[in-house]
Amino acid sequence: MNNTTISIEKTLTIGGELTVSRMGYGAMRITGKGIWGPPKDEDEAKRVLEKAVELGVNFIDTADSYGPFISEELIAEALYPYPDDLVIATKGGLLRTGPDEWPVKPIRLTCRKRLTEALSV
């Protein structure tokens, strides 16, 4: 019989300085079908985001290509003003051309410009 005990920390530290809850939320699926356009029920998508934060999630992963931009807009609408400990990680660089379309060759864009656009409220 094996009496091994496994202990899992409830948080993790990124880069030695940013501590977040181990359970994060991936916001790719709060958009419409094919990760394109708004969801069928925007209010429900916002409630999901609010509930995730209420349950202790303080790390949300998104990207400007989710929607495009829909995921980030819903996050802002649902959660702004943001809790002090909330971390929103976004990515940029893919040019979406339609539902379920993810071009292989990403386009070059100024990261500062795209991320500023994505995170503006």
- Active-site residue numbers? 66
Please, are residues 62 and 92 in contact by the beta-carbon 8 Å criterion?
A: no
- Written as six digits, the tokens of 26 are 């991936």
Residue type, 75: I
Beta strands in the chain (DSSP E): 11-14, 18-21, 25-26, 59-61, 87-89
